[in-house]
Chains A and B, each alone.
Chain A
Amino acid sequence: MNSTIPSQTTLPWLWRLPALVYRSGALIISLLLIGLIVLLSGASPIEVIGRMLVGAVSTPDQIGRVVATLSTLLLCAAGLVYTFNAGLYNLGVEGQVTFGAIATTFVLRLLYPEEATASLLPPPLTIALGILAGALGGVLWGLLAGALHVYGRISEIFAGLGLNFAATGVAIYLIFGPWKRPGVASLSGTQPFDESLWLGTFGQTEATPVGLGLGLLALLITIVVMRNTYFGLRLRAVGKNQYAAHVLGVPARQQLLSAFFICGLFAGLAGAIQVVGVFHRLIPNISSNLGFLGLLVVMLVNFDPLWVLPVALFFSALNIGSLQLPLSLGLESSLAGVIQGLLVLFALLGRGLAQRYAAS
């Protein structure tokens, strides 16, 4: 190509700084803005950050919650690494989590009917089948989004959002309809499962070894696949330039569908863990919005799975720690959302500026 896009090169030299400057500059600005917002809400930024982090690790109970959040978040983020690298904004991850949870609940109810006093199969087997069903449910919802995108030529963003609504709708219908609690139907969800169907935990906390193990395993597999396999390379090729990848002989559709498949699988597992490990029943917001948080994590690390673990841990701690803010400082716990949102927004801005203006 002989011409450059003029706006890329018309900036005075002052603007042409190394890419790192843009990226770290964006990070610093976002931190300053966060500080400012905290100040405006009448607290000291240092105190707030301190309370949040302390709040996250103050008691074993709190640590357990952080780990439980982290487990689900890791599953979602690992799945999203595939779709992002394939060039897809899979906003449907929330619906995939939800539908996974629905599928898990369905199987558990099947194997442990309401009137029964014990599971029809040994409880561990019941749990395992429930988790498997969750994975399949997520895959189904993921492939549905994939088919709409690949064959129906619908933007994966809209397909995903639509399917999110659908999944939540199904969940609420079930909670208020066929699966309602004996006597009262309420937003608090279905009748909790018998304790024999709860996943074992670390001590008395909410964290489950199975959940954490699945999250870490999913991430590990993802790192290996993205860095060391032809499959990961083909996925990136399709994500960067679908037509050229096709011309070079990469089966683009198949790759896109695989990305939806894997993301659905991991998200469905996340939904299953939310049911058998965290809430022990189906509730309307079973995902706790961790699918969306996963999107932020993966965007913040620039789709590189290697950095997912620390960022996911940080975000999980913020999420749990911020729950302490209303009690200790009289602040809204939604501050965690503001902080996470700003960080990602500015990280994306920094990357965009670096791509546009940075001296090569």
Chain B
Amino acid sequence: MGLFACATAGFGLRVKVELQHIHKRFGPVHANDDVSLTVEAGTIHGLLGENGAGKSTLVKILSGFITRDSGVILLDGRPAHIRSPADALRYGIGMLHQDPLDFPPLTVVENFMAGSPSTPPILNPRAAEREFRRWCARFNFDIDPHAQVGDLTVGERQQLEIVRLLANGVGTLILDEPTTGISASQKTLLFQTLRRLADEGKSIIFVSHKLEDVEALCDRVTVMRRGQVAGELDLRPLHAGAQQASSHHPEIAARIVELMFGRALAMPTKPPTRRDEVVLSIEGLVLRSDRLEIRVDQLSLHRGEVVGIAGLEGSGQQLFLTACAGLEPPAAGSIHIAGHNLTHRPYADFLRAGVCYVPADRLREGLIAGLTIQEHVALRASGRHFFIDRAEVRAEAERAIAAFNIRGRPDTYVERLSGGNQQRTQLALLPAPLSVLVMEHPTRGLDIESTLWVWQQLIARCQQGTAILFASSDLDEIVQYSDRVIVFSGGRVSPAIPVAELDVELLGQMIGGRF
């Protein structure tokens, strides 16, 4: 029986998911060490934990992307044989990855039709479109069926993927960090959708680093630590007590943080670090890519100042940041660093002037996969001598590893590091002193502790006189650490607004285009 009996499991049936004594090793790393987890049908189950705790490994095992070393998966008490994503889909288990897998140039409907096991041999686009519209209407999703997938926002891709999985009969939905990079209204819609799906009896696993999200959404939460389950909490009483589900509960948050890190965490506070001296000044800047054109009339960054950039992803923030770092020449306008005109100067001049860029895509743009930590250290020191002094470089790398608390050795390849440790490595490589630090999503994907730690380091830089210009999709982060904020919205750029005049709500409205 097996497969066919289960193929219909997604429709209507309530499926309880049990993972028992799951083990998974990657070489010396015990990524899942005897993990057991039960998700009741009709509930949303949160999965929290520090970077590298093993959350993604666990959900990838359930969705067939990784094969477990040992352990049992039970669906409604019956063992399930999951060895591939296709197997998992037959059992009605579907997963949304944090970074959407690369999409071929398909339209929305084509993507919706692709990859369905029930696809009839002859594709009927019109029927598929009707079906797609029906699903979208059900959840108030507003996606043009004929748009190119590549043109959708992160949130819309996510909606498309949810609809596609549901149409494939998925009864267990896994979301790995789904709230990064989507707008506030998309997040609200996502939460409504998930709540509704749970009420229909589907089981949902929600992996996240954001405590507020988990509190607002989940019925239960499991905290993982170093490959093991550190504890479980029931959050339902909390929703029952307060009808307004989004209200914050510091006691619960504190308990979860304790479970995650074994101790309470202190928020770094940002002292005033802004000095009078202007270090970066921009006049009449015009930037063009094949998709958009943005203009920044005037911006002056002071030493020690932090300026945050808010906006939906793809609104030109990256273009602006790379231009400020000297990686992209502007179409018009000027960039002065510490009084020197560096417009159209080579990138090397920007580096020499103490400008540094830390991209969001750590492994594709910031670090070099295939080289070790110490080789990166040597690369940064490159140019002074011809021969590498191995002992010296190794010592330097060991100092950096100790100072930045990187979980790795000097000869660890950077692609083997977890996301948090890759970010620590990027920061460790920054030269000192630095005039301007340009960062894209400085804490994306990092756990709470790493996030706080990263900002501690950044604030220390500001105290030394470095100006920071950063883009983030996390409005809380922007409001908490910026001195001034710029909003990018649909090709328009707001002037820099002092953070005292802003709050998260107002910022959300401005991102929607109201300024």
Chain A residues within 8 Å of B, Cβ to Cβ: 1-6, 9-13, 16, 228-231, 233-234, 236-237, 240-241, 243-251, 359-360
Stretch binding the partner chain, chosen from B304-312, B365-373, B394-402: B365-373
Structural contact, A241 and B364, CB atoms closer than 8 A: yes
- A230–B381 Cα distance when bound, in Å, is 9
Contacts of B26 in A (CB 8 A): 360
Interface flag for B442 (CB, 8 Å): no
A93 to chain B, nearest CB (A): 24
Residues 60-95 of chain B, each 1 if its beta carbon lies under 8 Å from chain A, else 0 = 100011110000000000000001110000000000
| Chain B stretch 371-403: residues in CB contact (< 8 A) with chain A | 371, 375-376, 378-383, 385-388, 390
Contact A248 B60 (CB under 8 A): no
Residues of B in contact with A, size category: 35 or more
Closest residue of chain B to A10, judged by CB? B84
CB-defined A-B contacts under 8 Å, sample of 5: A1-B99, A9-B66, A10-B64, A230-B378, A247-B359
B331 at interface (Cβ–Cβ under 8 A)? no
Instruction: Give A81 Cβ to nearest chain B Cβ, in Å.
Output: 16
| 0 or 1 for each of B331-354: is its CB under 8 Å from A? (1 = yes) | 000000000000000011001000
Question: What distance in Å separates the Cβ of A119 from its nearest Cβ neighbour in chain B?
Answer: 38
Q: Is the CB of B364 within 8 A of A244?
A: yes
Contact of B347 (CB < 8 Å), options: A4, A246, A359, A360: A246
Residues of B within 8 A of A243 (CB): 364-365
List 8 tightest A-B contacts by C-beta distance, closest first.
Answer: A3-B97, A2-B98, A240-B370, A230-B382, A10-B84, A241-B368, A9-B66, A244-B368
Please give, as numbers and ranges, the residues of chain B lying within 8 Å of A4 by CB-CB distance.
Answer: 60, 65-66
Assess A2 versus B177: contact at CB under 8 Å? Given A9-B60, A10-B84, A229-B386.
yes
Bound form: Cα–Cα A5–B99 in Å: 11
Contact B365 A230 (CB under 8 A): no
Which residues of chain A are within 8 angstroms of B60 by Cβ–Cβ distance?
4, 9
B380: which A residues are within 8 A, CB to CB? Answer: 248-249
Question: Across the interface, do A233 and B378 meet the contact criterion of CB distance under 8 Å?
Answer: yes
Show the binding face of B for A, using Cβ within 8 Å: 26-27, 56, 60, 64-67, 83-85, 97-99, 101, 176-177, 327, 347-348, 351, 357, 359, 362-371, 375-376, 378-383, 385-388, 390, 416, 419, 429, 445
- For the complex formed, measure the closest distance between the CB of B97 and the CB atoms of chain A, giving whole angstroms: 4
A3 CA to B361 CA in the complex, in Å?
13
User: Which chain B residues border A9 with CB–CB below 8 Å?
Assistant: 60, 65-67
**Contacts known (A237-B371, A245-B368, A248-B429); A2 close to B383, Cβ less than 8 A:** no
Give the chain A neighbours of B390 by CB distance below 8 A. Answer: 228
Asked if A2 and B101 sit within 8 Å, CB to CB, the answer is no
How far is B126's CA from A196's CA once the two chains are assembled, in angstroms?
84
Alpha-carbon distance A233/B65, docked complex (angstroms) = 35
Check A250/B84 contact, CB under 8 A, given A228-B387, A228-B388.
no
Instruction: Evaluate whether A237 and B65 lie within 8 angstroms (CB atoms) in the complex, with A6-B85, A247-B327 already known.
Output: no
Cα–Cα, bound, A256→B382 (Å): 16
A13 to B371, CA, bound (A): 28
Q: How far is the CA of A13 from the CA of B24 in the complex (A)?
A: 12
Chain B: minimal CB distance from A240 (Å): 4
**Closest Cβ–Cβ distance, residue B326 to chain A (whole Å):** 10
Partner of A234, one of B83, B365, B366, B379: B379
Min distance, Cβ A4 to any Cβ of chain B, angstroms: 6
- Contacts A9-B60, A244-B368, A247-B357 known; A1 to B101 CB distance under 8 Å? no
A196 CB, nearest partner CB in chain B, Å: 40
In the complex, what's the smallest C-beta–C-beta distance from A238 to chain B, in angstroms? 9
Question: Once the chains are docked, how many angstroms separate the CA of A13 from the CA of B81?
Answer: 13
- Separation of A242 and B438 alpha carbons in the complex (Å): 20
B348 touches A251 (CB 8 A): yes
Please name all residues of chain A whose beta carbon is closer than 8 Å to the beta carbon of B383 when the two chains form the complex.
Answer: 230
Cross-chain contact B419 with A2 (CB below 8 angstroms): yes
Determine whether the beta carbon of A248 is less than 8 Å from that of B66.
no
B379 smallest CB distance to A (angstroms): 6
Query: Does A3 lie within 8 Å of B101, measured CB to CB?
Result: yes
* A229 adjacent to B379 (CB under 8 Å): no
- From the candidates A10, A11, A228, A229, name the one contacting B85 in the complex (CB within 8 A): A10
User: Considering the chains assembled together, what is the distance between the CA atoms of A47 and B58 in angstroms?
Assistant: 55
| Complex Cα–Cα for A241 and B368 (A) | 6
Nearest-Cβ distance from residue A241 to partner chain B, whole angstroms:
5
Given contacts A3-B97, A9-B65, A248-B429, could you give 18 more A-B pairs where the C-beta distance is less than 8 Å?
A1-B362, A1-B363, A2-B98, A5-B101, A10-B64, A10-B85, A12-B67, A13-B67, A230-B378, A230-B387, A240-B371, A244-B366, A244-B368, A246-B327, A246-B347, A249-B380, A250-B379, A360-B26
Q: Which residues of B contact A237 (CB under 8 A)?
A: 368, 371, 375, 379
Of A6, A12, A246, the most chain B CB neighbours within 10 A belong to A6
